[in-house]
Structure 1
């Protein structure tokens, strides 16, 4: 491995975020309203249909990590999955909104959910090896932050393009079920470009040789539990992901029912949320170097939570002020993503130094399982809030929502995410993995007894 990676490898690796960003964004943004407002599925059932495929991923991700740990190929242990699982994910995503029948609506809903299962399966075998790669291609503590900065920058582009453009594609191609079919093709193209780009772009990156790893999944999970920094970081990241996903699920509803701009409101909200991230990445990089990754993550999450809380006043604010507050949230989101992702390979490298075993796939399998769980629970939480608020589903016709439903939308977009994102950062006070401790562990690996 190397301490410093060439720029071509950083860019190539970051291309994979086009795939992960598109898949992580669009279902959370459009699938729930597609089911409730185009197919007429009740909010509770729609939330379940969105939740179950991602719940399957939670179970599958650790298995995918274990399999990739043991893979031997001329392309290395991870890169084959970038290509084959990435292409499979793109094809199945296009099929998710392409049900061969529109009536009865339950048949289209079942088709959508079934193909979502296939897409989620392919995503697991792409995402887990992809996230494992940074810990294996560079030894540099600071270089991992640089690599994650590139990745999160591309992730921001992916979220901006897919999240902002996808609703426009739906509208421009006729709306309704037809518009969603074309949107599925558009997003599938982004996924394919990202997957193939990452496969090609990392062709010259260092490849780890297979080493001994734990003989069973139970033993591997036990190793992960003994990695205290990893468990603390995982807990914080998962809870914050639930909050972010809850907010994401509410974007279209807020655009329609709070801001009153059903045609372009979701696009503006997404552009304001993600756009600033592209500008503040260098700033967050400097902040991390000055105060450390741990404190920087806490600062970013706090900024995001405070801004989300302010949005509860959106009823009385003009749209430009709402968009400005959303942009501040975007600044916090950029930092939260950069530092969480940069701290993960540190935790993996810490385990490698401690155990002398290559099992990055185990940790990234658990990480992506937690992330997937968070992304799945977010729409589920928002669907429950809609149900409690008395939200009225429809099959494409215009429906006047009761005030209780509109308040539920606003609270689900603001207060609930803020509660999930902010307070959990208190756990980071127990995270003590720094560059100094990494060097110490590498020079003097502790025994399992010493680690407790």
Structure 2
């Protein structure tokens, strides 16, 4: 049931928690495949690195179709549960099953294994869109207040931090629990564990947002795709935010895909994947109040520049890991975590601002379409991170293998791992600092923000 419009300060704490817990979906579906899927295919299913990169990337192209479509449907949905929550429930009922199947396939290797994983990953992307697109559209409709959205979303980021810890620490620990680098059975157990956690969290978010306030529900945009895309094309704040987010997430996805290789071949221990992720996640759990204050003091654009600089600086410093060893590596990842925490919070807060500004300017409900496009483009572009890293590995001469037949990687492959983990992502992140300067949606003078160039 949608409650009447209320001020930002009366959003119940239970709704904030209920909304935040849905981030387990975002974090796990992004982090677990991003961290483990490429390694799983090259080292357990004997899939060549370039083909594994294609498998991780190709289903994301489907996001460009399904995400805006789900967003449009949710904009036009009329139900006693509101426009967003019916779709969230549909995603909660389908995503866990599809996710489990990605890591629980029949005993296949090579090209047949790649095809199976690709089909299951495509189903996962579709189910993910059902939940994630309407879920991300909600904050822009829950409060008019420019700074309150940042405060509201810090709850979401805390849960993302917790879910990232589960994805980056618990998931690899389970996957590697049976033998030095794990087995197919241990990967299936990991997938089952994450599936159960994901299902509970998504259902918790569906029920927890039952009393979510709406700041007024403008009429759904009934225009066709051409009219809607034309309106979005003229929204410079949305366009620059999308480009900014895509650039940042492309670099992050490369680092996720590279992390198990970095731990195994640069640090010499696959178990270091968990400790590296602990260093990444810790700041996300601890620094959210700091980033909220910085967003108020520096404005969101200024805080984003600072966060991106920290992210780029930590990534650049990690290049020296072969000289200074594991302690240095963990220290640089800690710095990356501080920057990444700010980047994540500010991205979603800015998206909520853009959604609210668009509704105020047009009088139309297009949060679903905007969120669907933003999510699809960001997801599609970021998925190329695994593909780019896979190509870098192939150029470096990385040799695919199976657990029963481990191989000694050439020095060129070890060097490729370091370049893919540090040098290339650092350059991409630095470019995003320049893009941040093009985002110009500022705090409104009145109670409702308006779109600006």
State the TM-score, normalized to the length of structure 1.
0.95
1:420/1:399 CA distance change after superposition, 3 Å: same
Deviates more, 1:111-120 or 1:422-431: 422-431
1:105-149 alpha-carbon deviations (Å, 9 max, x no partner): 543332222111111100011111000000111112111001111
Instruction: Please state whether the residue corresponding to 1:422 is helix, strand or coil.
Output: helix
Aligned partners of 2:306 and 2:282: how far apart in 1?
A: 20
Query: Contact 2:308 / 2:432 at 8 angstroms: preserved in 1?
Result: no
The CA deviation at 1:104 is 5.0
Query: 1:419 maps to what in 2?
Result: 427
2:34 paired with 1:23 = no
Alignment counterpart, residue 182 of structure 1, candidates 189, 208, 214: 189
What do the CA deviations read for 1:20-44 (whole angstroms, capped 9, x no partner)?
1000100010000110000111011
Name the residue aligned to 2:160. 155
Q: Distance in 2 between matches of 1:226 and 1:219?
A: 11
Change (3 A) 1:353 1:104: closer
Offset at residue 225 of structure 1 (A): 1.4
C-alpha distance in 2, partners of 1:34/1:251? 13
- Pair 1:218 & 2:226 matched: yes
- Aligned to 2:126, which of 121, 124, 139? 121
**Structure 1 residue 194: Cα displacement:** 1.8
Query: Map of 1:202-281 to 2, 5 A cutoff?
Result: 202-207=209-214, 209=217, 211-262=219-270, 264-281=271-288
Alignment of structure 1 residues 394-413 onto 2, 5 Å: 394-396=401-403, 397-413=405-421
CA deviations on 1:221-268 (whole Å, 9 max, x unpaired) are 111111111111111111110000001100000010000012x11101
CA distance in 2, matches of 1:240, 1:59: 22
Identify which of 90, 93, 108 aligns with 1:87.
Answer: 93
Q: Which moved further from structure 2: 173-182 or 127-136?
A: 173-182
- Structure 2 segments unaligned to the other structure (5+ residues): none
Tell me the distance in 2 between the aligned counterparts of 1:177 and 1:418: 33
Matched, 1:434 2:442: yes
Is it true that 1:34 corresponds to 2:40 in the alignment?
yes
**Equivalent position SS for 2:101:** helix
Q: Counterparts of 1:205 and 1:374 in 2: how far apart (Å)?
A: 32
Aligned residue for 1:423, secondary structure, equals: helix
Q: How many residues align?
A: 443
2:311 corresponds to 1:299: no
The answer (yes or no) to whether the contact 2:304–2:342 under 8 Å persists in 1 is yes
- 1:203 alignment partner, SS class: coil
Paired position in structure 2 for 1:75: 81
* TM-align CA RMSD: 1.6
Q: Which residue of 2 aligns with 1:58?
A: 64
Q: CA deviation at 1:301?
A: 0.6
**What whole-Å deviation, never above 9, does each CA across 1:314-361 have from its counterpart, x for those lacking one?**
111121121011001100000011111101110111111111111101
- Alignment partner of 1:130 is 2:135: yes
Give the CA deviation at 1:190.
Answer: 2.0
**C-alpha displacement at 1:440, in angstroms?**
7.2
Q: Residues of 1 paired with 2:448 and 2:103: CA distance?
A: 52
CA distance in 1, matches of 2:375, 2:114: 26
